[in-house]
């Protein structure tokens, strides 16, 4: 699904471009949505989001009981297929069997029981038509499953075994594999001919390998469930072993099928390695929903492993699952998962595993706002990685400390740890983490307002992402560049970069980041109409992820956008909530931002003293952590307020202070603004 999804996504993105109306319209049809897996559903939901801006029709079919997540969209229309009318039902019955076979009273009973469902109707008629001529009048089954089970029960023993064996292989049944696991009784081919004649199966010989298909998935399900559990497990084991023989030397191609059969056979020593391969392949394409589901099954299988290898496998699988949950934004679940296995993991003597364990514990704590705990875990990871002579985990741990630098306001330390991570990871094959380390350096510089240094580090992360073809690193670098450009006054450049990140986002967490900074870039341009919905979406996502630092920050940013839109009441509520969240996790940068929003609001309401108090509080927060650029912007707010109070000297002093803080940051737009404000505040010599 991942490779197909990326191809479809690229096509659809092209259709939604600025020249889309001059392009050929696109229609995408997906049938049987009720069987969809979570990863595919999330992918289709992302396609639905771009429909309003594209000449595109998405058509989905699904059974009652399934509800697509986009059902409530204003541009989504649901069309319920009505049951067949009685006249059409009767015509279908008469087309399947001769009139003499089904009396009028029996036909009426069949029609009443099927309730216009064509598949149920056809199976009912076939079930009745297949009974012996001298049989008593049939009782009409109550459900379609009962109908199918009745038809299966009338098969010969050989035919029933053939159908059940085929059902173990799935709705599509490769003939070579079916032959490899067929154990009789009797030859297979006559049974396949009979099952085809009775329309249980359809053959397809035009493919590279002959394949049989079940006429309907429900037929396959009923046949499968009719097997005794022990027989079902034996057939799955036989299928797995046959696949290993048939695909010797290229098992990677069918790892998912091998994982499925050995897991259903409860053959844990075989199932776990294949499940891990499937999860790795999914994770490489950012299909982390699929990877997480597979790893959960691997954990269930690992509980059945021999005691000697059980704990090591459970620990390794837990770490893999935590990695995928991170990309899905499921930070609390990942932390809980790691903590639940903390004691068994501590009993393992391998320092490399201990280092990795502490890194991931700290990584999750960092996202949930526990910076003290994250730093402590990072230092334990460093100690263990040094004992294990493991430069990769050592570099990861320094990257984690780099993250701690920007969340706790120790930006110089964050830059130093990020650069140390770069030095450690540069000689290794861990290129993704090398790119992440460059990004950590960029983000720390960004909070200070050191734009040129930040942009240089972000472009290094982008280069690594391009070199290894990783969309996540490229998307991260793009919104970071967008944030820095927009903040220093290049709003259009910022919007373009953030929009690129959003359009190519491979996972939910990056999507939230891209939405946040794209909304912030529009805010820097003064465009509240674009900013507010983007920021609302971002805040809802950060709330769901429980990422409290980002939630506090962008709740305050949304408050600023609402203030710009003229919604003072909502702006106050959001800014106060943002400050409360930020204070709770010690994120002074976001605290300062929220205070500045409240100060601007108070000034607009004519509450000069309250405005100055809030702005001074915001300034103090920024100065306490060395956030020079935001401190300078807050000084400009204070200078503007002083000028409005006719305090020219105070305004000029604040403007000069702002100019001093801006020196060397690479923000000429704001330097010019500070100079103009300082000049405006000077007394007129001719007055």
**Residue where a domain terminates, one of 295, 320, 348:** 348
Strand order in the sheet with 172-174: 172-174, 211-214, 201-204
Task: Say if residues 531 and 562 touch (Cβ distance below 8 Å).
Answer: no
Residues 25 and 36 grouped into a single domain = yes
Residues 211 and 232 grouped into a single domain = no
Task: Say if residues 216 and 148 touch (Cβ distance below 8 Å).
Answer: no
For residue 97, CA distances in Å to 85, 104, 195, 309 come to: 19, 13, 18, 60
Assigned domain for 137 exists: yes
**Residue where a domain terminates, one of 196, 227, 258:** 227
The CA-to-CA distance between both ends of the chain, in Å, stands at 75
102 pLDDT exceeds 70? no
Assigned domain for 208 exists: yes
Assigned domain for 599 exists: no
The reply to whether omega before 651 is within 30° of 0 (cis) is: no
3 pLDDT exceeds 50? no
Residues 118 and 181 grouped into a single domain = no
pLDDT band at 63 (very low <50, low <70, confident <90, very high): confident
pLDDT single digits (tens) 593-623: 999 999 999 999 999 999 999 999 999 999 9
pLDDT band at 572 (very low <50, low <70, confident <90, very high): very high
Task: Say if residues 628 and 650 touch (Cβ distance below 8 Å).
Answer: no
Residues 307 and 261 grouped into a single domain = yes
Assigned domain for 171 exists: yes
What angle, 0 to 180 degrees and rounded to 10, lies between the N-to-C axes of helices 391-408 and 411-425?
A: 160
* Mean of the per-residue pLDDT values of the chain: 89
Residues 165 and 247 grouped into a single domain = no
For residue 108, CA distances in Å to 99, 112, 144, 622 come to: 13, 6, 17, 80
Residues linked to residue 26 through DSSP beta bridges, in sequence order: 56
- 3-state SS assignment for residue 470: coil
pLDDT band at 341 (very low <50, low <70, confident <90, very high): confident
Q: Give the pair of three-digit tokens for residue 282.
A: 């999914």
Residues 250 and 221 grouped into a single domain = no
Task: Say if residues 325 and 333 touch (Cβ distance below 8 Å).
Answer: yes
Q: What's the number of domains the chain is made of?
A: 5
pLDDT single digits (tens) 212-236: 999 888 889 999 999 999 999 999 9
Residues 675 and 634 grouped into a single domain = yes
Q: Say which DSSP state 305 is in.
A: S
E strand residue ranges, 194-261: 201-204, 211-214
Residues 297 and 233 grouped into a single domain = yes
Q: Say which DSSP state 22 is in.
A: G
Assigned domain for 565 exists: no
CATH number of 216's domain: 1.10.10.10
Residues 52 and 119 grouped into a single domain = no
pTM comes to 0.80
69 pLDDT exceeds 50? yes
Task: Say if residues 243 and 177 touch (Cβ distance below 8 Å).
Answer: yes
Residues 55 and 14 grouped into a single domain = yes
**Residue where a domain terminates, one of 170, 200, 227:** 227
Task: Say if residues 264 and 233 touch (Cβ distance below 8 Å).
Answer: yes
For residue 266, CA distances in Å to 221, 225, 276, 301 come to: 20, 17, 16, 7
Q: Give the pair of three-digit tokens for residue 333.
A: 């679940």
pLDDT single digits (tens) 616-649: 999 999 999 999 999 999 999 999 999 988 899 9
Task: Say if residues 402 and 437 touch (Cβ distance below 8 Å).
Answer: yes
User: Could you tell me which residue, 520 or 308, shows the higher pLDDT?
Assistant: 520
CATH number of 324's domain: 1.25.40
Task: Say if residues 212 and 152 touch (Cβ distance below 8 Å).
Answer: no
Instruction: Compute the average pLDDT of residues 157-166.
Output: 95
Residues 258 and 279 grouped into a single domain = yes
Task: Say if residues 536 and 356 touch (Cβ distance below 8 Å).
Answer: no
For residue 561, CA distances in Å to 100, 219, 508, 603 come to: 75, 56, 23, 16
Assigned domain for 646 exists: yes
Domain limits for position 36: 2-60
Residues 333 and 286 grouped into a single domain = yes
Assigned domain for 611 exists: no
Assigned domain for 148 exists: no
């Amino acid at each position: 699904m991942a490779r197909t999804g990326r191809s479809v996504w690229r096509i659809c993105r092209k259709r939604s471009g600025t020249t889309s109306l001059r392009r050929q319209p696109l229609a995408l049809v997906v049938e049987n949505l009720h069987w969809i897996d979570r990863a595919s559903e999330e992918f289709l939901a992302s396609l639905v989001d771009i429909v309003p801006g594209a000449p595109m029709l998405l058509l989905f079919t699904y059974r009652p009981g399934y509800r697509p997540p986009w059902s409530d969209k204003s541009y989504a229309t649901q069309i319920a297929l009505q049951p067949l009318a009685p006249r059409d039902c009767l015509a279908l019955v008469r087309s399947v069997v001769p009139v003499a076979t089904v009396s009028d009273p029996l036909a009426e009973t069949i029609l009443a029981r099927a309730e216009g469902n064509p598949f149920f109707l056809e199976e009912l008629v076939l079930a009745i038509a297949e009974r012996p001529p001298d049989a008593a009048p049939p009782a009409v089954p109550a459900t379609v499953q009962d109908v199918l089970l009745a038809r299966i029960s009338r098969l010969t023993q050989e035919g029933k075994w053939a159908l059940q064996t085929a059902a173990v292989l799935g709705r599509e049944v490769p003939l070579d594999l079916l032959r490899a696991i067929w154990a009789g009784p009797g030859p297979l081919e006559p049974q396949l001919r009979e099952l085809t004649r009775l329309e249980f199966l359809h053959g397809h010989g035009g493919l590279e390998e002959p394949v049989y298909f079940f006429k309907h998935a429900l037929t396959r399900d009923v046949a499968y469930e009719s097997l005794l559990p022990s027989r079902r497990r034996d057939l799955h084991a036989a299928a797995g072993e046959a696949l290993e023989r048939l695909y010797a030397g290229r098992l990677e191609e069918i790892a998912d099928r091998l994982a499925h059969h050995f897991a259903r056979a409860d053959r844990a020593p075989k199932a776990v390695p294949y499940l891990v391969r499937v999860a790795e392949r999914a994770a490489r394409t950012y299909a982390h929903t699929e990877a997480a589901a597979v790893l959960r099954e691997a954990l269930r299988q690992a509980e059945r492993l021999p005691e000697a290898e059980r704990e090591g496998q459970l620990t390794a699988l837990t770490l893999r699952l935590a990695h995928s949950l991170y990309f899905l934004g499921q930070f609390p679940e990942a932390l809980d998962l790691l903590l639940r296995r903390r004691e068994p993991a501590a009993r393992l003597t391998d320092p490399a595993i201990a280092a990795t364990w502490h890194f991931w514990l700290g990584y999750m704590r960092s996202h949930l706002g526990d910076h003290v705990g994250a730093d402590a875990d990072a230092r334990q990871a460093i100690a263990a990685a040094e004992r294990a002579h493991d430069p990769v985990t050592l570099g990861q741990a320094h990257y984690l400390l780099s993250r701690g630098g920007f969340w706790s306001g120790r930006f110089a330390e964050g830059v130093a740890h990020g650069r140390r991570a770069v030095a450690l990871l540069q000689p290794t094959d861990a290129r993704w983490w090398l790119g992440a380390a460059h990004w950590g350096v960029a983000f720390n510089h960004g909070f200070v307002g050191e734009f040129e240094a930040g942009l240089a580090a972000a472009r290094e992360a982008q280069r690594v992402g391009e070199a290894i073809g990783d969309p996540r690193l490229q998307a991260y670098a793009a919104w970071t560049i967008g944030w820095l450009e927009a903040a220093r006054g290049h709003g259009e450049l910022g919007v373009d970069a953030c929009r690129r990140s959003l359009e190519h986002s491979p996972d939910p967490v990056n999507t939230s980041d891209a939405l946040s900074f794209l909304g912030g870039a529009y805010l820097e341009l003064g465009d509240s109409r674009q900013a507010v919905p983007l920021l609302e979406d971002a805040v809802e996502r950060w709330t769901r992820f429980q990422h409290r630092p980002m939630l506090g920050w962008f709740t305050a940013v949304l408050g600023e956008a609402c203030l710009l839109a003229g919604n003072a009441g909502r702006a106050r509520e959001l800014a106060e909530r943002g400050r409360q969240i930020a204070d709770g996790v010690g994120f002074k940068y976001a605290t300062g931002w929220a205070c500045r929003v409240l100060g601007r609001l108070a000034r607009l309401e004519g509450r000069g003293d309250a405005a100055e108090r809030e702005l001074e509080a915001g300034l103090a927060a920024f100065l306490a952590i060395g956030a020079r650029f935001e401190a300078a912007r807050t000084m400009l707010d204070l200078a503007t307020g002083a000028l409005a109070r006719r305090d020219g000297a105070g305004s000029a002093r604040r403007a000069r202070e702002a100019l001093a803080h801006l020196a060397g940051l690479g923000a000429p737009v704001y330097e010019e603004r500070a100079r103009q404000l300082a000049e405006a505040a000077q007394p007129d010599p001719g007055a």
